[in-house]
């Protein structure tokens, strides 16, 4: 059973970004599956790094599109990206130091972080990008 199922309610109306959001959701679900199958010890590190790396790639893509469209909220959006990246990197560091394990709390944080960012911050820019010819 997936921790998070993609649906149209997460769509920001820009195919490239929706596709990337779906990869992030899949990676989160892969982490959840590893935990439920008792494989967390062997796959969590690589999957957390994949999530962090892909998130950084996604943020770069998003920021380029927002820059191209002269999105007025770009500066604030970039700050949210910096904050979210720090949180994920902190979790990875804590995991690698053995301070935390992959557990429901960590998965819920990642799920909530992803859904809140998409549904709140990212939804705000969708209409602006569409209005400026980015779909």
**Nearest of 13, 19, 24 to residue 122 by alpha carbon:** 13
pLDDT lower than 70: segments of the chain: 102
The CATH number of the structural domain formed by 15-129 is 1.20.120.50
Which pLDDT does position 102 carry in this prediction?
Answer: 67
Which pLDDT does position 79 carry in this prediction?
Answer: 95
Which pLDDT does position 120 carry in this prediction?
Answer: 87
Query: Is this structure's pTM higher than 0.85?
Result: yes
Distance between CA atoms of residues 125 and 51, nearest Å: 23
Which pLDDT does position 65 carry in this prediction?
Answer: 97
The alpha carbon torsion through 52, 53, 55, 59 (nearest 10 deg) reads: 130
């Amino acid at each position: 059973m997936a921790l998070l199922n993609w649906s149209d309610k997460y769509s920001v109306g820009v195919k490239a970004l929706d596709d990337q959001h779906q990869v992030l959701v899949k990676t989160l679900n892969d982490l959840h599956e590893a935990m439920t199958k008792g494989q967390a010890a062997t796959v969590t590190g690589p999957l957390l790094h994949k999530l962090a790396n892909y998130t950084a790639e996604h943020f770069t893509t998003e920021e380029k599109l927002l820059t191209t469209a002269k999105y007025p909220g770009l500066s604030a959006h970039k700050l949210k990206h910096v904050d979210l990246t720090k949180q994920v990197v902190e979790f990875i560091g804590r995991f690698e130091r053995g301070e935390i394990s992959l557990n429901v709390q960590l998965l819920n944080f990642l799920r909530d972080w992803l859904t809140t960012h998409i549904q709140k911050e990212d939804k705000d820019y969708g209409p602006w990008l569409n209005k400026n010819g980015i779909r």
